Amino acid sequence: MSFQSPDDAYPYQLPKWAEGKLTNVPPHGRLHLANLPTPIHKVRTATSGNKILSRLNELNISIYFKRDDATGGVELGGNKVRKLEFLLADALAKECDAVVTIGGEQSNHCRATAAASRMVGLSPHLILRTQRADAVHDQTESLGFTGNVLFDRMVGSTIYTCTAGEYGRLGSNKLVQEVCNYLIKSKTHNQPYPIGVGGSNGVGSFGYINGVDELMNQLQSFQEASPDFGLDHIVFATGSGGTAAGISLGISLAYGKLGNAHPASRGKDMPNIHACGVCDTPDYFYNTMADIAKEMGIALEESKVLEFVRDSVTVHQGKGKGYGFSTNEELDFITQFSLSTGIALDPVYSGKALYHFLTNVLEEDPEAYRNSNILFWHTGGALGIYEKGNDLSQTLESMSPVTRIDIYGKKAGESNVVDLS
């Protein structure tokens, strides 16, 4: 019996349906960090009291969850670890001694990168974008120990802060490279490995080519029990474009848009792919996905890549009040969804995206979705809900009341007391 070490790299073989269609296959293979395959769960929609889920039941819509929130423990759970399996294999092959990456203050990607880096012996350096950067520097505020930041700090990440304005002025890639240069000049590390925001590049996005192959194999198993089963729509959140690129390209190739097809797709129409953007604009995501597709070596003339991407996925504007900001309606949806299904969504990605899709996209033409099977690819991020504790407190107090047990009869007649004496 052999035991896997987290830093053992394995050769990566493209799925047969992608062979010859993506030519820049990561040469250093992948690590095995994630718990795969992640399961698919059917969500109960006939739930009294939940208006949105009841609406799905009225339209005879079945919704399934691909549970990529279950890719790892609390340190790694979420979509980012699929990318990190390829990115960190590349870093180790290049004999790097540190990783530098960037994201928002409650970045799931930064937390997963920090934990995974420690697992394979690399030092994590995180650039966190926060409007509190100056206040934290002046010690009038503390960065704190909440949600993702708690786990960033538990694995000993070196954290650098910048404001949104500074982030926008220099750009994320420039900031990452400058910190890498600083580490080399200061002789802190010899060779830091830069990872852009979200791990969204050609190397990382192969994690979701692998993820699509996993999904297609699961569909093939479902079809053995129910030959007519198929998916009509696949929905997911996008914030940096890498997951969106991998899923969109993967599904298109698996359904034979450029030649070979996965057996599970034969005789089936390709599902409609919906990416709900939680920041930026749809055009930004189309262009980002096209750039990533080129990095992956898609077998198309360069002038045709953007058209192929636009034909593969519909990007919806779902950012609401903006990245990391939640409306009361979004937070209410997250709490009601967990009450009805037991599944935790997060306020930045999965909760915002699913809320927008079900309340806006679907309701623009509900009959187009009647009698359909929808797969929501749950990309994780539940630690982000910790930051919203104060905003949720009133709702949670009424939804989950706290009652004192009295076993001695000393509190007779008091409210919020269960008398067991």
CB 122, CB 91: distance < 8 Å: yes
Range 342-367 burial, b when 16+ CB lie within 10 A, else e = ebbbbbbbbbbbbbbbbbebbeeeee
Reported residue count of the chain is 421
Would you list the DSSP string of 77-143?
TTTHHHHHHHHHHHHHHTT--EEEEEEETT-HHHHHHHHHHHHTT-EEEEEEE-TTHHHHHTTSS--
CB 78, CB 112: distance < 8 Å: yes
Listed residue (402, 348, 289, 292) closest to 147, CA to CA: 348
Q: Fill in the amino acid letter for 223.
A: Q
Report which DSSP code applies to 60: T
CB 238, CB 109: distance < 8 Å: no
Residue 366: both structure tokens together: 């509900």
Which backbone phi and psi does 278 adopt, to 5 degrees? -100, 5
Known catalytic membership, residue 326: no
Write the burial class of residue 183 (CB in 10 Å: 0-12 exposed, 13-18 middle, 19+ buried). buried
Listed residue (150, 164, 208, 159) closest to 26, CA to CA: 208
Q: Fill in the amino acid letter for 324.
A: G
Distance from C-alpha of 265 to C-alpha of 268, rounded to nearest angstrom: 5
Report which DSSP code applies to 371: T
Distance from C-alpha of 182 to C-alpha of 190, rounded to nearest angstrom: 11
Which position among 2, 107, 252, 326 bears the catalytic label? 107
* Rounded alpha-carbon distances, angstroms, from residue 343 to 204, 337, 399: 27, 7, 16
The strand pair at 62-67 and 40-42 is best described as antiparallel
Asked whether the CA dihedral 155, 160, 163, 164 is positive or negative, the reply is: negative
* Rounded alpha-carbon distances, angstroms, from residue 102 to 105, 126, 200, 240, 258: 9, 6, 11, 11, 35
CB 207, CB 121: distance < 8 Å: no
Residues marked active site are found at 107
